[in-house]
Chains A and B, each alone.
Chain A
């Protein structure tokens, strides 16, 4: 709650972007994700779901009890991956990667994908909702992304 109180402007922006998806940013709302937290795990890719309204990815990670567990995260679009030099067609089921994500406020496992580090060391970052970004940062990014 204190985070929201401290950044009322960002909260309103989330409401706006929840409703509106621009081609250049904000495919998804951040309302249900805790942007102040970032979790990480070693993961095996199970599936990328490239579709509207928003892409998602399923990773198998080690759950809290040590057993493998599937986790669904909201993901950036294919175009966002390409902008950072990745080819979505290259992602294969079974690929191992190190992922970070902003967890769901509801407490359920999963959330919004924040970054993916591949075995070759290359990193993808979901830049839309990186913590600390202000709405004008997002707009500036959208501008340069154009």
Chain B
């Protein structure tokens, strides 16, 4: 908090000083410049393994329909290794599937970025709001890490976000091709998602997700997930590798 010296009287300087000090000792919080504070601990309102498409059905291409059917056959056989690494291996379920987590998620708003900390297996996602100090060394395009991300993508790419009124609009692309949209729906490298995240009320968070992958879907399709606010309690350690059963099927992404 800057102290302006325009007001010269000692009392106003003292007031400004004490305001500055008060602001300094408070823990960091959602930047005052953000139109909405989404921070808090959230839990999905209606646990589900699959996204419900608006309009009733997913507009699959022939390739998409075939792979979806194949995934269903493998699910029936519990052959998770054949099509679902997350369930089989405790690997990252990727996005947008992580937004279906039945465990809690903590949102942190910080200057320049928004973080989502998932209780499940301690995973996280980040939204770059566009004004972080540059270069960002761990993901810079000319770093080896950054190159790898560009070459083969990530299960959870870094998203790019901005505010539109009271809505956090989040765009994600640069996916690996070895995760699923949810427990069954396939995608490839060309997946792109747009999420519109907002508070429906003080205790309800909504994520409206538009999913696009021309190889698997004839057109973009939408789905909505809502979350209820929970107390800001810490997450007991969550380690998927020790929680899953011997057959590898106990993991819920």
Listed in ascending order, the chain A residues whose CB lies under 8 Å from chain B are 23-24, 50-51, 77-79, 81-82, 87-89
Contact = CB atoms under 8 A, between A and B. Distances in A.
B145 A23 contact: yes
Contacts, number: 28
A79 B147 contact: yes
B148 A24 contact: no
Given A23-B143, A50-B176, A77 B148 contact: yes
Contact residue range for chain B? 10 to 19
B80 interface: no
25 contacts: A23-B143, A23-B144, A23-B145, A24-B144, A50-B148, A50-B152, A50-B176, A51-B91, A77-B144, A77-B148, A78-B147, A78-B148, A78-B151, A78-B152, A79-B144, A79-B147, A79-B148, A79-B151, A81-B151, A82-B147, A87-B151, A88-B152, A89-B151, A89-B177, A89-B189
Given A50-B176, A89-B189, A82 B144 contact: no
B201 to A, nearest CB: 39
Contacts of A78: 147-148, 151-152
Given A51-B91, A77-B144, A78-B148, 18 more contacts: A23-B144, A23-B145, A24-B144, A50-B148, A50-B152, A77-B148, A78-B151, A78-B152, A79-B144, A79-B147, A79-B148, A79-B151, A82-B147, A82-B151, A88-B151, A88-B152, A89-B151, A89-B189
Contacts of B91: 51
Contacts of B189: 89
B144 A89 contact: no
Nearest to A83: B147
Mostly, the B contact residues are helix
A50 B149 CA distance: 10
A9 to B, nearest CB: 25
Nearest to A50: B152
Contacts of B143: 23
Contacts of A79: 144, 147-148, 151
Contacts of B176: 50
Contacts of B144: 23-24, 77, 79
Contacts of B148: 50, 77-79
Interface in B145-186: 145, 147-148, 151-152, 176-177
A45 B91 CA distance: 20
A19 to B, nearest CB: 17
A79 B145 CA distance: 8
B188 to A, nearest CB: 10
A50 B151 CA distance: 10
Contacts of A81: 151
A77 B145 CA distance: 9
Contacts of A88: 151-152
A24 B143 CA distance: 9
Interface in B196-240: none
Interface in B80-99: 91
Contacts of A51: 91
A87 B189 CA distance: 13
Interface in B117-158: 143-145, 147-148, 151-152
